[in-house]
Structure 1
Amino acid sequence: MGAEGYVREVYDASYVRLVVQLLALTGDLADAEDAVQEAFVKALGQGARFARLDNPEAWLRTVALNHVRNRWRHLDVVRRFQAKVPGPMAAHEIGPEPVAVVQALGTLDLAHRTVAVLFYLADRSVADIASELGVPIGTVKTRLARSRQLLAPLLSVPEEADHV
């Protein structure tokens, strides 16, 4: 049986039990299910290492508990600093141009979209993007060139026929 099959077997045997345990801790079914799902996602990422664990359910419980603790820590920070964060700005009408750009960017795969957004919308240099993403500068340049090529037909304004 492969690693995914083993994770599925552990899932079938442990999921409900783990959710009940996390529900008792969190008091919220959605939070409990989310934490257990996160744990199983991490188990899938472990591959064969997960299958070699002596007690996979204990490992999953620990991962789920850590997920809950991290969420609580995050919420605690948000609560402490929320009053210091300015409220939302008044709603602004978004014109058709930004909407078209966002729709066009949505057609790109994540790697090309990320580079295009960082370069054109976040005003980052090629070197900064390369450093931030941990890729060579040449990769950033190639992705930008390909992004321009893919976006050009989606963002070009059709020429209107001359009316005589």
Structure 2
Amino acid sequence: MGRKGSVSTLLDGGSVECPSDSGPPAGAGGFDEFYAAYFRPLTVQLFAYTGDMAAAQDVVQEAFCRALARWKRVAELGDPAGWVRRVAWNLATSRWRRARTAMAFARRHREEHVAAPSPDRVALAQALSRLPEQQRRAVILHYLADLPISDIARQEGVAEGTVKSWLHRGRTALAVQLTDKESRRA
């Protein structure tokens, strides 16, 4: 074994970095040979399952890291390669499930494109923005929110006659603004 917390391998001249706080576990002898013998075949099997070489290498690598952390127990199993294969397979399945869940979430929350507002709607929004605040609020609450005059008066803390006055002034101002826009369009 090379450095503390890593397993050196002759496979493709690379090394496997597995986290370890106290160096290699007791009984780690033979792990390098085990890794060199089984990394490629397990990667090929997982590639056939996942269809993604990088993902296959990642899950096999993670499975070997988990085996190294428990090497004394794993080495005593009748089929340590089977244990690593099962762990890698489970990791790949978990990745697939997480990806499927993420895709389902994205489909449910994807951005919906709506048609652009009509020219009339834009003109109305501009005309409303030019009204004094009280008149604008009264017009919106009465005509868009369908609130009766009595509810608007109660909400605004004014007499019903005041709300009627705001509505009258607001309608008059809107009529002038919207009529001007129509005459300019023609």
Q: TM-score, normalised by structure 1?
A: 0.48
Give the TM-score of the pair, scaled to structure 2.
0.43
Structure having the higher Rg? 2
